[in-house]
Amino acid sequence: MASSKDRQRKLAREKLDRQMARRAGRVRRRRRVQAGIGAAAALLLIVGGAAWLGGLFDSDKPDDTAAADTCEWTPQSAQTNTDLKEVGTPPITGMPTTGIETMNVTTNQGLIAVTLDLANAPCSSADLSYLASKQFYNNTDCHEITTEGALHCGDPAGNGIGGPTYSVYDENVPLVPTPAPSASAAPATTTKTPLYPKGTVALIGNPPGTNGSQFLIFLKDFTTADPKYPIVGMVTGGTDTLAKIAKIATVDNGSGSKVKPKEKITIQSLTVGTPAVTDPGASAAPSASSQS
């Protein structure tokens, strides 16, 4: 079993490396084009128009379009990792890229409403929406409360490597703030904003960057020098449910880690696009972009 997991992680990492290399190449090409425009805009209008008609840039069209308004879904093998579930693949185009959307998580502990950030995490949001439409999350357990203080859900296998037979790259991973030039330049008292405030919802991949169905709901503020969870939204309803879950004790999960909830936490249903769960005591949560 261990060798199968290692092989799956290795294959996923290799696919991620190739995907990131392609994206880096697109960024370099766009920067070269932008630099050329800034240096000789008038000339490019003439020469570039002729070159376009001649098909000079045809090879770059698919990549540039994909970078602008499509999502890349990387296939994962259910033969290599038998804990993956075949549910097809989300569309690569047509996902909303502005505004917000509501995700309702109905658990045996209560209801949780999440506001998805379509502008900063369009593909991550599309991923959750697609899986919700397939009832992927229904009757699945949130199998751990991590040492970072987050509820870990979305893995039907309950072992950290389950999910659909595709993955999506990281979006909206928060940036570590640049420290002040010197101690004297900083205010006498400074309140640091956590990278993952309480109520943050983020995807989690194994290995990082291969996100599928698994997600975290942070039950308390969390900050790290090496952020690796892409933020997809914030809890805006059901804070009493989070408070209840945060009080659940954890026990050994069988591998020496005290992260398994002593009391079952089961997602009975998860929907996207339905009316939000009302929570009069909840305050408006900041958008994910404000935490970068």
290 within some domain: no
**Is 147 in the same domain as 250?**
yes
89 within some domain: yes
Query: Which tens digits make up the pLDDT trace of 248-258?
Result: 999 999 989 99
Number of H helices, E strands in the chain: 5, 15
238 within some domain: yes
**Is 215 in the same domain as 237?**
yes
246 within some domain: yes
Last residue of a domain, one of 30, 45, 69: 69
Rg (CA), the chain: 21
256 within some domain: yes
CA atoms within 13 A on the CB side of 48: 10
**Is 32 in the same domain as 96?**
no
| CA-based torsion, 201, 105, 260, 157: positive or negative | negative
DSSP code of residue 179: P
**Is 189 in the same domain as 87?**
yes
Tokens 């942070």 sit at which residue?
218
pLDDT of residue 56: 39
The rounded Cα 57 to chain-centroid distance in angstroms is: 32
Paired strand residues for 269: 106
**Is 191 in the same domain as 240?**
yes
3-state secondary structure 237-286: ECHHHHHHHHCCCEEECCCCCEEEECCCCEEEEEEECCCCCCCCCCCCCC
**Is 31 in the same domain as 77?**
no
pLDDT(33) > 50:
no
**Is 196 in the same domain as 255?**
yes
Residue type, 216: L
pLDDT(215) > 90:
yes
Query: Which tens digits make up the pLDDT trace of 184-210?
Result: 555 544 558 899 999 999 999 988 999
**Is 50 in the same domain as 179?**
no
Query: Which tens digits make up the pLDDT trace of 65-109?
Result: 333 468 999 999 999 999 999 999 999 998 899 999 999 999 999
Tokens 């766009």 sit at which residue?
30
**Is 219 in the same domain as 250?**
yes
Last residue of a domain, one of 43, 69, 95: 69
pLDDT of residue 70: 83
**Region of poorest pLDDT, from 11-20, 197-206, 231-240, 260-269:** 11-20
Stated as kind and residue range, the H or E segment containing 163 is strand 163-164
pLDDT(288) > 60:
no
Residue 259 sits in a domain whose CATH number is: 2.40.100.10
**Is 115 in the same domain as 77?**
yes
292 within some domain: no
**Is 135 in the same domain as 265?**
yes
Cis peptide before 156 (omega within 30 of 0): no
Last residue of a domain, one of 69, 86, 119: 69
**Is 219 in the same domain as 114?**
yes
Average pLDDT taken over every residue of the chain: 79
Tell me the pTM. 0.72
252 within some domain: yes
- Residue 205 and residue 214 in contact, taking contact as beta carbons nearer than 8 Å: yes
282 within some domain: no
- Residue 230 and residue 195 in contact, taking contact as beta carbons nearer than 8 Å: no
Number of structural domains found in the chain: 2
The boundaries of the domain holding residue 176 are 73-277
